[in-house]
């Protein structure tokens, strides 16, 4: 874990290093803007919508999921039995992905 944390903190702002830590495993496109609005509204309440639950079941089985919202992570863990990680290293990683 210490090596991962050092790698994350050292890679933020350096896209080539960050790409060695983060890989896109799967992607699902929304059908329309109303679906986006509905999903976003539920996420603001820390609730995954049906599409997200289906996506996570299909692509995160046996994996640990990095989450920025600890409440959402708890709901995912409780409802879908998917381990979620939320800590300082994950928050730094999220910051690096956004920038």
pLDDT tens digits, 54-83: 999 999 988 889 899 999 999 999 999 999
What would the two tokens of residue 41 be? 């509204």
Please tell me the distance from the alpha carbon of residue 57 to that of residue 66, in angstroms, as a whole number: 15
Mean pLDDT, residues 29-48: 94
Residues recorded for the chain? 99
Please tell me the distance from the alpha carbon of residue 42 to that of residue 45, in angstroms, as a whole number: 5
pTM: 0.74
């Amino acid at each position: 874990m210490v090596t991962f944390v050092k790698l994350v903190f050292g890679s933020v702002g350096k896209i080539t290093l960050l790409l060695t830590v983060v890989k896109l495993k799967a992607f699902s496109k929304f059908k329309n803007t109303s679906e986006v609005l509905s999903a976003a509204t539920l996420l603001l309440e820390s609730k995954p919508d049906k599409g997200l639950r289906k996506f996570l079941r299909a692509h995160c089985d046996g994996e640990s999921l990095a989450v920025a919202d600890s409440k959402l992570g708890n709901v995912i863990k409780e409802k879908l039995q998917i381990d979620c990680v939320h800590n300082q290293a994950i928050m730094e990683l999220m910051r690096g992905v956004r920038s």
